[in-house]
Amino acid sequence: MSEVFLKIENLTKNFGQFTALRDISLEVFQGEFVCFLGPSGCGKTTLLRAIAGLDIQTQGSIAQAGADISVLPPAERDFGIVFQSYALFPNLSVEKNVAYGLESRRAQRDEISQRVAELLALVDLADQAKKYPAQLSGGQQQRVALARALATSPGLLLLDEPLSALDAKVRAHLRMEIKDLQRRLAVTTIMVTHDQEEALTMADRIVVMNHGVIEQIGTPQEIYASPASQFVADFIGTMNFLSARIASSGKCLLEATEIAVDTSGLEAGQQVQLAVRPEDIHLEAKESASAEEQNQTPGTIESMEYLGAFVRATVKLHQSGARVQADLSAGDIDQWAMAPQAAVAVTLPADKIRLYPLDA
Amino acid sequence: MAGMRHRSGTHGSPLRRKSSTDDRAMRLFILVIAIYLVIALAFPLYVMFSKSLENSQGAFVGFQNYLEYFNTPALVYSIQNSLFIGVVTTTITVTIAFILAYALTRSRMPGKPVFKTIAMIPILVPSLLPGIALIYLFGRQGLINELLFGYEIYGPIGIVIAEVFFTLPHALIIIITALSIADARLYEAATALRANRARIFFTVTLPGVRYGLISAAFVVFTLSVTDFGAPKVIGGDFNVLATDIYKQVIGQQNFEMGAVVSMVLLLPAGLAFVVDRIVQKKQVALLSARAVPLEPLPNKRFDNLMLTYSIIISIFILGILGVCQFAALVKFFPYNLSLGFSNYQFDLMDGGGWDSYFNSIEMASYTAVFGTIVVFAGAYLVEKGQGLGPIRGAFQFLAMLPMAIPGLVLGLAYIFFFNAPSNPLNFLYHTMAILVISTIIHFYTVSHLTATTALKQMDSQFESVAASLKQPFYRTFLRVTVPVCTPAILDISIYLFVNAMTTVSAVVFLYSPHTTLASVAVLNMDDAGDIAPAAAMGMMIFYTAAGVKILHYLLSRGIEARTQAWRVAVAK
Ligand SMILES: Nc1ncnc2c1ncn2[C@@H]1O[C@H](COP(=O)(O)OP(=O)(O)OP(=O)(O)O)[C@@H](O)[C@H]1O
Ligand SMILES: [Mg+2]
């Protein structure tokens, strides 16, 4: 996984006056599974369509397998694609759909039917070959579309929100299947999604996009644990944001509480947003809530929400009046006799805190 | 990377996609069809306009012909007459059609499909036919001419009755559509507010169908102002614009004045067309809103009233048809009322004989086959083609234009254009080909809209998927697009066939002694006083059109049954 397979440089896409993508640069490695993740309208589909040549970029270049494909029409590129609507040909049976890309390649008839059978087995639909798309469930249709896209063994597989039309259970199951299939075939894959869970569970690397620019590129762990911008921090998972000010190198002030934290890149006096995830906050019962210990500030539990494996407490901080969410395990609750109205000490672990400069 | 020629930060001209073989092929095809539209529509119209600015020697005289026209009271009077016919016909037809549409959508009367089918019959006959029936009913020796209390059927009364017959189905289709998209929730709300029936009608029903009514009114107005068949047969001395064109050209050989009257006739038709397009857009917006369909509640008195009304309208339509069939079979009206087939000996009369009938079938078949291919391929290329933006825009405009061009005007324009000795296409003049070419153009717009609607309902990603699978566009077109759009394709071909059978206006200027047509034969036999054979030929057209319609119905049913398995998906 070291060879660059797809290289996008300084790509910009305008629709009239509107800039849908601004100066996008990106590398995708051979055999990698990359997700484009971002809110609706951020340009994910636009970028995917540019890669496919369906809607060409205004500026910038794209190279695939070392060859410049920037202005090639789709038919001269090497990719398979699955759309959100699947776009299965309604008047052709499942096997004809899958065979669609094979037939004109001068392949022998039995060669084709063998390949189709192989593909249908791959997506676990061998018994549905003669049916029409309308006679299949959504998840089955999705897998037919996948088989059709893979039939010609493309070097690049493009998936535009392939799971969004399915209900939650089927979606979770197909996530695993697609990921598994992708790993077995080692086909370089780009998937567009606005579902962060999908991206976190499936991708080798995630490209987080917002308003036509890339906010961050990284593995799911990197994106989750060290979001590069306030947008990413906010978009992925749940995050508490608190206003703070840099006191000195390695220290910031959350009202009267001194917080030890990595302040590299920030200057004393600068206003920042302090970000910390609910699961990283420690709560302990404290009768006389004072703020002597470092990274600890007093608060009161306002409410508790039972979420199955854990309980999410909303805590009001005494000094600022701001509210944070903190997760408690069943053990925590027993040990500290946590309940609404309980006074607590809120600890923000230095290594789990991230600071983002306040935009002007 | 070595080959990165396309890098350029934020400036420089935007990148353009390299054309694929498909792109080039599609551009070639669209150009071919666009050239057809330009040659068969734009050029003739332009030549006609320039003719209206020339004298009979071909010298440019500016607007002198127009001056002469407006200084000839007899001619200008026709404008008034045409508008009168248009307004009266529109008022009556839209009223009748609205009540009938209301009965068909908002009552629980029995026999709705039968009444609807009967109301569609006038589409299957030439507009000359109702005039002939009226002569038999109310003419000087008519069966029931006392009912006119001494008024003359030849003139505005006859024209209006014939036009109402001829335009009814067109108005009915539009108004039924408008009434069927009504939202039941509105009615429930109004009932909950204790509004009575009349109040609901005026506050919910009428506003809900206002666009449909406006649209229907303009369609009827255009049809009745531009129609030539009815005033020709039963107009008497009452001149209208359409008959003036015919008389100037065929009677007086004054082609320049014919061109001037044509330009005048383009005005109301063009205006109606523009208004209709605007209204259609609004109607579509209403349509796409998610509505709960309305289920009419039974109401004995109302249902009986509507039933009676529908029966009366059906008697009117079937009566006209019945009288024509009666006229066709009677030996010598009104002196010898015994029945026989002597009036079917067309070969003994003017008008081209039985050959006309077979020519018509040939012409209608060619029109259906080639027209459907051209129209559907054109619509497909406009929808799915890449690049050539301006040409696709111009194509779209040309495809909409025929709706605004009355048939007579088109026919006259063809004389000017194709009959010019200097035109290399002159060889087409007086052939079957020119009849087919003009008829396809004449009925292009509705066919094009049908095709476009069907294409828009297909998943727009089919082409993208096919390109990613490296399949040429024509393969996907033939294996997916055409099969999925088969119902629309059948609709287009049947529409073209039926209209080609019944049309008179464009072809009346273009037929030759070898290519006489049945509908023109009706006109010429009537002109020569052979009214009974004219009725007989008119009924032959009706039976043929009806037969083909029934065939189409059975065929569609068969296809539906066969493709049921996968159609579910398209309907979803
Ligand atoms: N053909 C077009 N013409 C004009 N604007 C467009 C066009 N296609 C996309 N846009 C705009 O570009 C922006 C990005 O669109 P895009 O479809 O890439 O978003 P997306 O990230 O895929 O969103 P979603 O999650 O909703 O699919 C949007 O603001 C959209 O309105
Ligand atoms: Mg999208």
- Report the CATH number that the domain containing residue B311 is assigned in CATH: 1.10.3720.10
B163 belongs to a structural domain = yes
The CB density around residue A184, as the number of other CB atoms within 10 Å, is 9
Contact residues, chain A, for B24 at CB < 8 Å: none
- Mark whether B172 and B214 lie in a shared domain: yes
Q: Mark the residues whose beta carbon lies below 5 A from ion ligand 2.
A: A 45
Top pLDDT among A220 and B14 is at A220
Chain B residues lying within 8 Å of A144, measured CB to CB? none
Q: Which residue of B has its CA nearest to A15?
A: B14
**Cα–Cα distance measured from residue A161 to residue A195, given in angstroms and rounded to the nearest whole number:** 9
CA distance B221 to B500: 22
Distance from CA of A169 to the nearest CA of B (A): 23
- Scanning B71-122, the segments in alpha helix (DSSP H) are 73-106, 112-120
Q: Is A83 on the interface with B (CB under 8 A)?
A: yes
Task: Say whether B6 and A154 touch across the interface (CB within 8 A).
Answer: no
Say yes or no: B35 and B148 in one domain: no
What confidence score (pLDDT) does residue B2 get?
Answer: 39
- Tens of pLDDT, residue by residue over B391-417, are 888 888 899 889 888 899 999 999 999
Partners of A77 on chain B (C-beta within 8 Å) are: 468
B430 and B477 fall within a common domain: yes
Ligand 1 and A349: CB distance under 6 A: no
Judge whether B3 lies within some domain.
no
Contacts of B312 (CB under 8 A, 6+ apart): none
* Ligand 1 pocket mutation, candidates A13, A24, A37, A44, criterion most atoms within 8 A of CB: A44
B540 shares its domain with B445: yes
ipTM for the predicted complex: 0.81
C-alpha distances out from residue B391 to B42, B378, B385, B441, B447, Å? 14, 12, 11, 18, 20
Q: Which domain holds residue B258?
A: 63-336
User: Do B302 and B407 share a domain, yes or no?
Assistant: no
**Cα(A41) to centroid of ligand 1, in Å?**
5
A337 touches chain B (CB under 8 A): no
Mean pLDDT of B242-260: 89
Residue from A11, A13, A18 whose mutation best tests the ligand 1 pocket (most atoms within 8 A of CB): A18
pLDDT for A77 equals 92
pTM for the whole thing? 0.86
Within chain A, residue ranges assigned H as helices are 44-52, 94-99, 109-122, 138-150, 168-185, 196-202, 220-225, 230-235, 330-336
Q: Please check whether residues B314 and B447 belong to one and the same domain.
A: no
Please state the rounded mean pLDDT for residues B453-482.
Answer: 90
Chain B residues near residue A135 by CB distance under 8 angstroms: 565, 568
Distance from CA of B457 to the nearest CA of A (A): 12
Domain contains B50? no
Note whether B329 and B363 are same-domain residues: no
The yes-or-no verdict on residue B314 having pLDDT over 60 is yes
- The answer to whether residues B434 and B562 belong to one domain is yes
**In total, how many domains does chain B have?**
2
pLDDT of residue B269: 78
Residues B243-265, mean pLDDT to the nearest whole number: 89
A:B CB pairs within 8 Å: 140
Residues facing A36 on adjacent strands: A192, A207
**pLDDT tens profile B16-41:** 888 888 888 888 999 999 999 999 99
Q: Considering CB atoms only, which of B10, B459, B469 is closest to A101?
A: B469
Looking at B273, B302, B336, which one is the last position of a domain?
Answer: B336
Residue where a domain terminates, one of B316, B336, B356? B336
A248 to chain B nearest CA, in Å?
40
Q: Which of B288, B306, B336 is the last residue in one of the domains? A: B336
- Residue B226 belongs to some domain of the structure: yes
Is residue B4, in this structure, part of any structural domain at all?
no
Q: What is the pLDDT of residue B5?
A: 44
Residue B58 located in a structural domain: no
Residues B81, B40 share a domain: no
Predicted pLDDT of residue A359: 67
Q: What is the per-residue pLDDT for B292?
A: 62
| B5 located within any domain | no
Ligand 1 binding pocket includes A164 (Cβ within 6 Å): no
- Same domain for B329 and B369: no
CA distance B472 to B466: 8
